[in-house]
């Protein structure tokens, strides 16, 4: 029986989501941000990362992974560091 091989981008994405999403939820628990809004915003880059770990052509995988990591990084900065801080005048 063949063993299931997992892709490195999929493992990295799962580890990132296991640690960063609960931290983001905890940090924004007392703000006016709705929890479903935070989860929905993280679901979009995670979907791109899942697609990037599928069996597409190499350049399609690279584009999907690049966009997914960029959006995921932006969401982490947005919810964890405070790009949405109302005191910054944004």
Which residues, including other chains, have CB under 8 Å from residue 69's CB and lie 6 or more apart?
45, 49
Q: Write phi, then psi, for 7 (nearest 5 degrees).
A: -80, 145
**Percentage of the chain modeled with pLDDT above 70:** 76
Contact 52, 68 (CB under 8 A): yes
Rounded to two decimals, what is the model's pTM? 0.72
- Alpha-carbon gap, residue 27 to 83, rounded angstroms: 13
Average pLDDT over residues 35-60: 86
Average pLDDT over residues 70-78: 87
pLDDT at 81 over 80: no
């Amino acid at each position: 029986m063949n063993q299931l091989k997992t892709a490195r981008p999929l493992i990295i994405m799962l580890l990132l989501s296991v640690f960063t999403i609960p931290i983001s939820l905890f940090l924004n628990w007392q703000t006016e941000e709705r929890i479903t809004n935070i989860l929905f915003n993280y679901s979009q880059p995670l979907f791109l990362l899942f697609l990037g770990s599928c069996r597409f052509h190499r350049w399609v995988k690279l584009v999907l992974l690049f966009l997914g990591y960029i959006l995921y990084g932006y969401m982490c900065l947005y919810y964890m560091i405070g790009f949405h801080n109302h005191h910054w005048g944004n």
